[in-house]
Amino acid sequence: MAATAVLLLAVLVSSLGGAAGLPVLGTTEALLDKLPFVDIHTGLGPVQLSVLNEIRLPRVLLATLVGALLAQAGAAYQGVFRNPLSDSGTIGASAGAGMAATLVIVYGGGPEHTVAGIGAVPLAAFVGALGGVLASYVLGTLVGRGGTASLILAGVAVSSFVGAVQTFVMQRSTADVRQVYSWLFGSFAASDWSLVRLALPYAVISVLIVSVHARHLDVLALGDDEAATLGLHPVRTRLIVLAAASLATATAVAVSGIIGFVGLVVPHVVRRVAGPGHRLLLPMSLLVGGAFLVLADLLARTVLAPAELPIGVVTSFVGAPFFLVILRATRERDR
């Protein structure tokens, strides 16, 4: 209940914030009026309603969706690899998704192009995210010992290599540089209802699959041998959860660009409150992740108004020091 209240409060505060001031009471009434079986007359005028419905609300909902997806994907990656530093940004998922999206933007006909009725950007981003995770896992297993440090170092190496290729592609097509840069640093400036509708089906699928496997992630935490003894197929379970988490990451990257540290910070904060059990950790990460990114986006568009900070800059200010704290705690634990 507390996490839900935090998310609702974040949505309200973010809906109020911006260049065009909106009254608190009228905005609250307008938001409540959108709930099923609720009919409330709002005091907002036509222009204020247009600002709320066509500018603020799609942006807030998209930020909520992306934050929820990244947070749950981070919790799923950490559960699969039993690694507290695992996250879409540290194990190559975001970099792979961003690289694939860049290739579609530059060479594949742009974001409007579709393949068999499916948006080419999210489809390519999914393949790229999964490829980045698999490359990091294989490299970490072959070169290192498969532990915490080797996986993270492999993810850094994969992300660096993919970033170099991405820079080369961008240099070859300067006409698309501005659009690609918006992917690299993350932004909700172009948010509209079409992006919300584009992301929603992929989000629902990935969230449902990961949520269904919550108990299986708890069993995996005991180790592969114990999991097999309890009737679980560890390899198959990992692949399914990895695919679903990568779909979540790809969806987030496809509609907002690369936003780091959400999947690293939020699950650790939630774990301190709710404990390590994934049946509570996963849904709470969804809610807190949505609230976190909504508030981060509010800062991004107001702190230097009328200019706008990339959302990835705001999350990095919070996430980078947090990452160092987790890394230190992990090293002390492994001694």
Name the helix (H) or strand (E) containing 247: helix 234-256
So what's the pLDDT on residue 116? 44
111 domain-assigned = yes
Between CA 268 and CA 261 the distance in angstroms is: 11
So what's the pLDDT on residue 331? 61
3-state secondary structure of 300: helix
So what's the pLDDT on residue 117? 47
Which structural domain, as residue segments, surrounds residue 329?
Answer: 85-334
Between CA 31 and CA 266 the distance in angstroms is: 26
User: How many C-beta neighbours within 10 Å does residue 266 have?
Assistant: 30
So what's the pLDDT on residue 65? 96
Which class for 105: exposed (0-12), middle (13-18), buried (19 or more C-beta within 10 A)? buried
Predicted confidence (pLDDT) per residue in 56-99, tens digit: 899 999 999 999 999 999 999 999 888 777 888 888 888 888 88
Instruction: Judge contact between 23 and 80, C-beta under 8 A.
Output: no
Instruction: Judge contact between 322 and 329, C-beta under 8 A.
Output: no
The pairing of beta strand 114-115 with beta strand 118-119: antiparallel
132 domain-assigned = yes
Between CA 57 and CA 60 the distance in angstroms is: 5
262 domain-assigned = yes
3-state percent breakdown (helix, strand, coil) of the chain, nearest 5: 75, 0, 25
31 domain-assigned = no
58 domain-assigned = no
Between CA 248 and CA 65 the distance in angstroms is: 10
Distance of CA 124 to the CA centre of its chain: 16
33 domain-assigned = no
Between CA 155 and CA 88 the distance in angstroms is: 9
CATH number at residue 229: 1.10.3470.10
DSSP conformation letters of 185-198: H---TT--HHHHHH
Residues β-bridged to residue 114:
119
So what's the pLDDT on residue 206? 94
Name the helix (H) or strand (E) containing 130: helix 120-143
Number of domains in the chain: 1
Between CA 286 and CA 152 the distance in angstroms is: 24
* 139 φ, ψ (degrees, to nearest 5): -65, -40
12 domain-assigned = no
DSSP conformation letters of 52-96: IIIIIHHHHHHHHHHHHHHHHHHHHHHHHHT-TT--TTTSSHHHH
Which class for 43: exposed (0-12), middle (13-18), buried (19 or more C-beta within 10 A)? exposed
99 domain-assigned = yes
Low-confidence ranges of the chain (pLDDT < 50): 116-117
Peptide bond preceding 306 in cis form (omega within 30 of 0): yes
